[in-house]
Structure 1
Amino acid sequence: MRFRLVPRRALRALAVGAVALAAASCSHAHTTVQITTHADDYGQPVGTQPVREGGDLVMGLSNDPDRLDPSTSSSLYMRYVMSTICEKLYDNDASGNLVPQLATALPKFSDDGLTVTIPLRTGVKFADGTPFNADAVEASLERHLSLPGSQRTGEMGPITGIDAEGPSTVVIHYSAPFAPITAALADRAGMIMSEAALKEEGKDFGDHPVCTGPFKFRERATGSSIVVERDPLYYDAQNVHFDTITYRIMPDAKARADALRSGSIQVADTMSPQDADALKADPRLRLLVSGSFGFQGFYLNIGNQDGAGKPVKPLDTPLAKDPRVRQALSLSIDRQALVDKAFKGWYEPACTPIAPRTSYATSADTSCPQFDPDRAKKLLAEAGVQTPYPITMQVMNVSDQLDYAQQLQAMVARGGFDLRLVPAEYSALLAAQKNGTYEALLLGWSGRLDPDGNIARFLTTGSSGNYSGFSSAALDDVLGWAAHTTSPARRGALYEQAVTLIQRDNPYIYTYRLRNLTAHSDRVTGIEVYADGAVRLGKAAFVSDRNG
């Protein structure tokens, strides 16, 4: 079968080197981000360690995921659960490299970059017993591209067709080369679903997901728990040890820490920096620490009135209409001081979507604007707005986020802003960002290895993840060229230009970059957490020399 999709709008005939960025350059100085150093501990595989077969692991999960549907999900916490039940074509390893998972090798690109060939594993079955093959891969990729409400469409590039060539090869056809596709297929766009389950469940697939993985879905009590059980049909079942994993929803970080110490849970994600030192010192626990490809900060609603991905309708407010107001807000934030105070130095300041210590990171595309509240006030005066200028910000109703938001509130007051905080549950924040029912919204992104996954999804005109309702023809062109060239040097230069454009308009204000803090009992081994943020439990186990 040949699947056809209308390509994204043709790239403008633009000589990228001639992009006029003089207007995009900010008049204020920049400072280089100071990186706080903590020793990384990603965990390690079970390997040859003696472990006990069986047992029931309980993880304290910091937020309730959205629907367990790889096509429509936008939640990090969904990725935790799906990492055990829904493998991808590719994955990241501990070193940040892309490696095959359900594929058998990295994709082969044609000389013109328009054809991408992916070889697949053979002899693999989904949890329902149906075969994993090229037809199933084709069906999943088509769904990611065409399902109404899919969050994956823009991540996969200008695809014109997908072919299953025999049972073990899939070919993707493009209208223009798309360099980030391998990285996209190492995330939810690469999760492959049972074709039979897709036909049976349709849009309700996320209520009863069926994929291939170490575990399979058993049940969910929304707001309470998700249970997965060992899948005997998994192709590497001999390296799966737990009988079940229960993800217990526990939004309060202190409650998760107390439950770890009591033994009622054995692993917990997103530990509070306030507890990190004590957890690290506890001999019964192990604290896993890793950097992040992602970023934290806040969306500013510029033109999202009808929902993300719908045509932009600019809001009639100074914050939405005048970039000077948004720039003033950015200049009112001392990112380093805020991180040090709010997070005890465990997190890092951030001002751009480019993660430090990655291949595209340069001083030009990771630097922060100088904290300058006096200039912020001048910009507000130039914009003709009364001060203090009020902004309503929705923030997750958990202690770390509320504490941070309150300190942010006090800080931006020096620049002429009256930040009004509205606590909300995580699910409500996800709905607000998609529907555009917010003015400012404090919410981050777990990050992707390729910069395209951290920028284009959120800031390209018409993208389903463009939650700010932002539209910039200049940025669209720069990001388009960056995606369609395979030269790392050229891509790096283009992302520097993209950052300059983003910092001119500030549709999203980047403020900090967390470090993934995951704690687990010393009764458990084989848990791993990489810079992509996902906690990997699929092949972990209880150690053999302990009871329980």
Structure 2
Amino acid sequence: MYVKLGKRSAALIATGLSGALVLSACGGSDDDSGSGGGSADGGSFSIYIGEPENPLVPSNTTESEGHQVISSLWTGLIEYAQDGAVEYTGVAESIESEDNTTWTVTLKDGWTFHDGTPVTAQSFVDAWNWGAYSPNAQGASYFFSNIQGYEDLQAPTDDAGNVTGDPAATEMSGLKVVDEQTFTVTLASAFAQFPVTVGYSAFYPLPEAFFDDPEAFGTRPIGNGPFQADEDFVPGQGFTVSKFDDYAGEQPAQADTVDFRVYADLNTGLNDVEAGNLDVLPDMPPDALASAEDTFGDRFIEAPSSGFQYLGFPTYDERFADKRVRQALSMAIDRQSIADAIFFGGRTPATSVIAPVVDGQRDDACQYCSLDVERANQLLDEAGFDRSQPIELWFNAGAGHDAWVEAVGNQLRENLGVEFALRGDLDFAEYLPLGDEKGFTGPFRLGWSMDYPSPQNYLEPLFSTSALPPAGSNSAFYSNPQFDQLVAQANAASSNEEAVKLYQQAEDLLLEDMPIIPMFFEVEQALRSENVSDVVIDVFGDIDVARVVVNS
């Protein structure tokens, strides 16, 4: 999931499911009890979000701002604990397989959507087919790509990528409804970690009302989660959601209403918390971190994170097509000095594309992530890089990236003799589509928080050929068949050890090609007002909105 500012400790374990492997976490997050008792009537609180990139449809919400909203409106087949562990507290009673290829999903009774209609097996099958069908252009379409028949839902294209016809089918052959509470999923190849993935928002169910008017639905969504939307989401403003009294999950909403407020700038949100006009700020401006603990006390919240910040390369641009250029730019950056000067302990230098909270991460995976000015200049010369032209550095506006991206530019100028130009004038909702359209003209800032606790989630959704936009999040437009093959082999592995080994081989290849510059791993840092308590950030970077208590 793309994160605006940067937004699960995980280890592979065997489950009780027949033949299945899943991942669970061993990290944690802050459970801040605050002060005061809960409001007798539930009360209301407000929370900061940036502008969502797209209407609020689960299969098209792949970034943090929209995800924070829809995670309060929906509950998936499974849920993730605060530390990322898989919990069967969602809609699924069980997800079982004998061969890790054909999975039987059995649902619990009693789940309903906000419009009163039941959540059934058909609700999932129809939603997944709609999300996978390429003419619907859903940003999370890629997440269905390992289901048998997915390719038949993709429109044919010519060598230039232009659509030349209609897909061969509208439904994946691997999805079958058995009865109202049961459906089967047949994968194109064995994937032992399949049960872990289906808590991600792309796999949420949809009511029949969605298919009547998907566009209107994205403005006033109908989910099955602890809160429901009673009004339209207004771009630039947000909306207020209310407690869903018939929620069937184990964690009902504590507050009566939540006001999701859209902000263009983190500093404005910080000012509003300080003034008592905003209750929850999920991220902190970097320049406020040095004094945050002293200033705000236990209202300042820190927790483990799966967040990963990086600078992607537009590999479609001839200037950055040579991997030696990409390696050189990475080796010219002193990540530790930037982390110390700007983030005050809130970031650590990244030496991998997999966050430390995930099993399989290695501290020394990236040989080009350490400062080596001499080698960087040598590589740049070997590649024949034109140093007379400035490098354009892209980042989204209003999210606190200005200082650290400028620091990167200063180091490139000092260490490589290359000038830079900052391109930070687009908000997040404009910035991501530009990347999908191959609009970046230089290294571009992005962040990633895992969608589910697996090293696979840091590799396949970001760097596989099947995840090229618009079907996925491969904004660097990196494609290497050997990388794809290694990830596919890891997905089909029959043991934890084998899977990790193969994922690491894929990462080694990726870090040799360097389609991105790994920059920082994160710590979640948030702020609450005196009005609320039990503000918890999970390892995915989301505030658990249902748990927040409004103080009396």
Q: Could you say which TM-score interval applies, normalised by the shorter chain? A: 0.7 to 0.9
Show the counterpart of 2:175. Answer: 162
Show the counterpart of 1:357. Answer: 357
Q: Secondary structure of 1:212's partner?
A: coil
Q: Pairwise mapping of residues 313-392 of structure 1 onto structure 2 (< 5 A)?
A: 315=317, 317-320=318-321, 322-365=322-365, 369-388=369-388, 390-392=390-392
Q: 1:174 to 1:469 in 2, by over 3 A?
A: same
Q: Deviations over 1:502-545 (max 9, x none)?
A: 111111211012221111123312332111111111232212xx
The CA distance in 1 between the partners of 2:62 and 2:240, in whole Å, is: 20
Matched, 1:455 2:463: no
Q: Deviations over 1:480-507 (max 9, x none)?
A: 1111214111111112212211111111
One-letter amino acid of the structure 2 residue matched with residue 181 of structure 1? F
Show the counterpart of 2:154. Answer: none
One-letter amino acid of the structure 1 residue matched with residue 340 of structure 2? D
Quote how far apart the aligned CAs of 1:220 are.
1.6
Show the counterpart of 1:3. Answer: none
8 Å contact from structure 1 (residues 62, 270) kept in 2: no
Quote how far apart the aligned CAs of 1:345 are.
2.1
One-letter amino acid of the structure 1 residue matched with residue 537 of structure 2? V
8 Å contact from structure 2 (residues 279, 532) kept in 1: yes
Q: Secondary structure of 1:159's partner?
A: coil
Q: Pairwise mapping of residues 15-414 of structure 1 onto structure 2 (< 5 A)?
A: 41-43=29-31, 50-105=38-93, 107-110=95-98, 112-147=99-134, 148-160=136-148, 161-194=174-207, 196-217=208-229, 218-236=231-249, 239-282=252-295, 286-303=299-316, 315=317, 317-320=318-321, 322-365=322-365, 369-388=369-388, 390-398=390-398, 400-413=400-413, 414=415
Show the counterpart of 1:443. Answer: 446
Q: Secondary structure of 2:450's partner?
A: coil
8 Å contact from structure 2 (residues 89, 250) kept in 1: no
Quote how far apart the aligned CAs of 1:40 are.
6.5
The CA distance in 2 between the partners of 1:297 and 1:116, in whole Å, is: 35
Q: 1:176 to 1:236 in 2, by over 3 A?
A: closer
The CA distance in 2 between the partners of 1:457 and 1:495, in whole Å, is: 13
Q: 1:241 to 1:65 in 2, by over 3 A?
A: farther
One-letter amino acid of the structure 1 residue matched with residue 320 of structure 2? L
Show the counterpart of 1:11. Answer: none
Q: Secondary structure of 2:138's partner?
A: coil
Q: Secondary structure of 1:102's partner?
A: coil
Matched, 1:415 2:416: yes
Q: Secondary structure of 1:52's partner?
A: coil
TM-score, with length taken from structure 2: 0.83
Counterpart of 1:430 (choices 425, 429, 432) is: 432
The CA distance in 2 between the partners of 1:457 and 1:357, in whole Å, is: 18
Q: 1:227 to 1:65 in 2, by over 3 A?
A: farther
Quote how far apart the aligned CAs of 1:165 are.
1.9
The CA distance in 1 between the partners of 2:368 and 2:79, in whole Å, is: 31
The CA distance in 2 between the partners of 1:65 and 1:287, in whole Å, is: 28
Q: How many residues align?
A: 490
8 Å contact from structure 2 (residues 29, 539) kept in 1: no
8 Å contact from structure 1 (residues 365, 495) kept in 2: no
8 Å contact from structure 2 (residues 350, 369) kept in 1: no
Quote how far apart the aligned CAs of 1:357 are.
3.4
Q: Secondary structure of 2:267's partner?
A: helix
8 Å contact from structure 1 (residues 392, 419) kept in 2: yes
Q: 1:62 to 1:278 in 2, by over 3 A?
A: farther
Q: 1:184 to 1:510 in 2, by over 3 A?
A: same
One-letter amino acid of the structure 2 residue matched with residue 460 of structure 1? S
Contiguous gaps of at least 5 residues in structure 2: 1-26, 149-173
Q: Deviations over 1:328-350 (max 9, x none)?
A: 11111111122111212211111
One-letter amino acid of the structure 2 residue matched with residue 323 of structure 1? K
Contiguous gaps of at least 5 residues in structure 1: 1-38, 304-314
Counterpart of 1:492 (choices 485, 492, 500) is: 500
Deviates more, 1:252-261 or 1:359-368: 359-368
The CA distance in 2 between the partners of 1:241 and 1:510, in whole Å, is: 39
The CA distance in 2 between the partners of 1:49 and 1:236, in whole Å, is: 24
Quote how far apart the aligned CAs of 1:274 are.
2.8
Q: 1:152 to 1:180 in 2, by over 3 A?
A: farther
8 Å contact from structure 2 (residues 51, 66) kept in 1: no
The CA distance in 1 between the partners of 2:179 and 2:432, in whole Å, is: 40
One-letter amino acid of the structure 2 residue matched with residue 382 of structure 1? E
Q: Deviations over 1:153-202 (max 9, x none)?
A: 322342121122222222111121123322321211222221x2222113
The CA distance in 1 between the partners of 2:351 and 2:438, in whole Å, is: 23
Counterpart of 2:516 (choices 503, 508, 511) is: 508
Deviates more, 1:178-187 or 1:449-458: 178-187
Counting aligned pairs with the same residue, the percent is 22
Deviates more, 1:393-402 or 1:512-521: 393-402
Q: Deviations over 1:452-477 (max 9, x none)?
A: 12211121113222211111111111
Show the counterpart of 2:531. Answer: 523
Q: 1:403 to 1:179 in 2, by over 3 A?
A: same
Show the counterpart of 1:539. Answer: 547
Quote how far apart the aligned CAs of 1:238 are.
8.9
Counterpart of 1:482 (choices 480, 490, 505) is: 490
The CA distance in 2 between the partners of 1:492 and 1:505, in whole Å, is: 20
The CA distance in 2 between the partners of 1:263 and 1:135, in whole Å, is: 45
The CA distance in 2 between the partners of 1:399 and 1:45, in whole Å, is: 27
Quote how far apart the aligned CAs of 1:282 are.
4.3
The CA distance in 2 between the partners of 1:117 and 1:142, in whole Å, is: 17
One-letter amino acid of the structure 2 residue matched with residue 434 of structure 1? D
8 Å contact from structure 1 (residues 115, 174) kept in 2: yes
Quote how far apart the aligned CAs of 1:395 are.
1.2
The CA distance in 1 between the partners of 2:457 and 2:291, in whole Å, is: 35
Q: 1:51 to 1:244 in 2, by over 3 A?
A: closer
One-letter amino acid of the structure 2 residue matched with residue 138 of structure 1? V
The CA distance in 1 between the partners of 2:48 and 2:450, in whole Å, is: 22
Quote how far apart the aligned CAs of 1:371 are.
0.7
Q: 1:49 to 1:421 in 2, by over 3 A?
A: same
Quote how far apart the aligned CAs of 1:291 are.
2.3
